[in-house]
Structure 1
């Protein structure tokens, strides 16, 4: 039987990476909208606090541990009678040119950003079966436009786009939708070094056509939209929430006199 928000007024959703800026913002939005949310993240204290705040079940997750994502999604499936959507907000940032990137750094970037996305799709497809649902992955504007010193993260996030398109084709017949969001630079603890000082924020903002950095809530809003069954004719898409970073060359700004 296919469950929908129209029938139950609530979806059963899994948020991986719930302790991050986007993941926590998304979790609060989903809970406020009346959905049931299963939380997973790597920071135990932050996860406990968020779980208590939202009265939501949770499970500590180490993405570098083999099988951790599958166990998490299976646990969510056991907690609820079905799963309507899974979001992978797990990610990292590495800004180095290729010649300064070590084998260990390269492997970790791939594991955190691409392998975790693949394992999310694989595990979600198993638990959703033929009932359908929504899977949302996180790519990056860096995968769609050449940015200096982004080789490793751009390669991993470009892989997420390829995964999104192929998985959307593979599982469309089951009613499983797979989409991705590709943010620009979003303010978070993970990216703090890129905007913490006034000079750094000014330089980073100027790369975006709208001349400002993103907020976690703005990315979470798009993810929430993709999870809604009302939008179940959308699949295989990559939505840029990036202030124009990947598609627009900012008009030169005149210095004030």
Structure 2
């Protein structure tokens, strides 16, 4: 099943995809259907309990072809950095490109959403802890890069710079998340193509690695990296990141000062 989180009629609602429409599951409106253009799309992630931030762990250079593109050897262990979910925005929202940026590019990524508390998980059991999958576009502003392996906060934690969605797809609906095609288009032109089969570290390896030293909780997110084919995107670019079986995440880049949804 495909789940969404939307704003409509002055409130936030959970919805599911039914017959090409959004069907609300909020008790007061259960069963009501809306067209995609009637709503504001939000990140398809449940709000976290008070006083506990969501953990977002992002992988650097987790595709062999992307490592080659950057003239690096694939890493020998996962290269990860933390992100704040304050950078998340929803489907069809706008991302702000800084005026001084000369190289800002998308990163189409499979996002793994945890469904159970996970600590010291073995690879063989890892998928039992996954709630589902969504699409993320983890924009990078290379002007601010200090280290390819450990991007600093201004590269990867900027407000509006991590669109995510539109759907959270149940893990049970994805037969093999390690065999999914990825594609990015900019203004209708295909600029990036790849497959999750090319990840250096697959999802079970990542879950085993992270939970060997930290606890992951329901709602925590792992961004699994991007294939090669990233290009600079100026303001006005319409970017679509699509992953087979998960969905197509649309986003527009704007200059500072332009109102965003």
> Shorter-chain-normalised TM-score: which range?
under 0.3
Higher share in helix: 1
> With CA pairs under 8 Å and 6+ residues apart, which has the higher RCO, 1 or 2?
2
TM-score under structure 1 length normalisation: 0.25
TM-score under structure 2 length normalisation: 0.25
